[in-house]
């Protein structure tokens, strides 16, 4: 099975600074990590590979040159190949432009059976790139997947809903966006780490992929960020301390009464 994992390098904090002009995040202001749910996507790919050992995992990312570090970690965890699409022209791309780039990158590869992406990136929280990518590639998709079963060329995906889940069966090729519940990502292995030097991370620029220049980058992005800000927290929760549950409940009721709730 040929699996493609889409991964994004994101700043590791909610307190990152924001560029006042471009209204985008200043990446250097916080350490960079792999987006959490993308780790789950990679983990699922690695598990499928354990089940079907002749699988081949390609991790693809659009991002600045330093996103190579993240891709090297993917190799150290067991991915077979990693590609970084990086070009100054791509800076400021919104989800629509990003999915154009990823779709172009994926079309350049020699086919695939399954694409796994995280549900959303912690810096943007849009949850749009996965679904857009599936649309642009013309393949079926299931979002918010929390459980995956693979049988030959059929995939069974459990999808989280507000009040339960839904089980869907689909044929490959297809795309799944996954949630944190799906699995527990593994660590890099020492051998994997020392294997990185034998596994060159491919870096593609805009000329390497067949993409229309008017469909990528900040200017081409239909999303215009009006303002970015760090939300102020709306007061703190209180922890009720008491010896027994009974006393705690009594205190709670008292407090609720005070507030006329």
Distance CA 154, CA 172 (A): 6
102/201 with CB nearer other proteins: 201
d(CA 221, CA 213) in angstroms, rounded, equals 11
3-class DSSP state of 244:
coil
Comparing CB distances to other proteins, the nearer of 73 and 113 is: 73
C-beta closer to other proteins: residue 167 or 189: 189
* Measured torsion, CA atoms of residues 108, 102, 151, 2, in degrees rounded to the nearest 10: 30
Task: Work out how close the CB of 183 gets to other proteins at its nearest, in angstroms, rounded to a whole number.
Answer: 15
- Residue 53 vs 111, nearer CB to other proteins: 53
Respond yes or no on whether the N-terminal peptide bond of residue 179 is cis (omega within 30° of 0): no
Q: How many residues form the binding site for other proteins (CB under 8 A)?
A: 13
The two structure tokens encoding residue 201:
């991370």
User: How do 56-62 and 174-178 pair as beta strands?
Assistant: unpaired
For residues 90-118, one letter each, b for 16 or more C-beta atoms within 10 angstroms of the residue's C-beta and e for the rest, the string is bebbbbbbbbbbbbbbbeeeeebbbbbbb
Q: Output the CA torsion sign for 99, 79, 12, 89.
A: negative
Question: Which residue's CB is nearer to other proteins, number 190 or number 239?
Answer: 190
Q: Kindly identify the residues of this chain, within the stretch 186-205, that bind other proteins according to CB under 8 A.
A: 187-194, 196-197
Stretch that binds other proteins, among 13-21, 150-158, 183-191, 207-215 (CB under 8 A): 183-191
Q: Report, in Å, the least distance between residue 180 CB and other proteins.
A: 15
Distance in Å, CB of 50 to other proteins, minimum = 13
- Closest approach, Cβ 107 to other proteins, in A, equals 31
Query: What minimum distance in Å lies between the beta carbon of 246 and other proteins?
Result: 28
Considering beta carbons, is residue 13 or 189 the nearer one to other proteins?
A: 189
Q: Which of residues 65-124 bind other proteins (CB under 8 A)?
A: 72-73, 76
Beta strands at 154-161 and 9-11: parallel, antiparallel or unpaired = unpaired
Helix (H, G, I), strand (E, B) or coil at 156: strand
Told to check if 246 binds other proteins by CB under 8 A, we report no
Q: How far is the CB of 104 from other proteins (least distance, A)?
A: 29
Q: Which residues in this chain contact other proteins in the complex, by CB under 8 A?
A: 72-73, 76, 187-194, 196-197
């Amino acid at each position: 099975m040929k699996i493609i994992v889409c991964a994004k390098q994101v700043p590791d904090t909610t307190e990152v600074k924001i560029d006042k002009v471009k209204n985008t995040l200043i990446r250097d202001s916080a350490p960079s990590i792999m987006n959490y749910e993308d780790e789950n996507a990679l983990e699922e790919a690695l598990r499928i590979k354990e089940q079907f050992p002749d699988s081949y995992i390609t991790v693809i990312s659009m991002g600045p040159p330093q996103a190579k570090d993240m891709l090297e970690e993917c190799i150290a965890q067991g991915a077979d190949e990693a590609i970084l699409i990086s070009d100054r022209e791509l800076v400021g791309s919104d989800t629509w432009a990003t999915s154009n780039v990823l779709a172009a990158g994926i079309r350049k590869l020699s086919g695939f059976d399954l694409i796994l992406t995280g549900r959303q990136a912690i810096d943007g929280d849009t949850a749009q790139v996965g679904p857009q990518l599936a649309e642009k590639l013309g393949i079926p998709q299931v979002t918010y997947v929390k459980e995956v079963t693979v049988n030959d060329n059929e995939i069974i995906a459990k999808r989280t809903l507000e009040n339960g889940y839904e089980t869907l069966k689909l044929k490959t090729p297809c795309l799944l966006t996954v949630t944190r519940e799906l699995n527990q990502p593994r660590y890099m292995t020492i051998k994997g780490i020392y294997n990185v030097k034998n596994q060159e991370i491919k870096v593609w620029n805009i000329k390497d992929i067949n993409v229309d220049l008017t469909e990528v980058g900040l200017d081409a992005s239909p999303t215009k960020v009006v303002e970015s800000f760090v939300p102020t927290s709306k007061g703190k929760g209180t922890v009720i301390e008491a010896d027994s549950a009974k006393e705690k409940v009594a205190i709670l009721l008292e407090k609720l009464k005070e507030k006329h709730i």
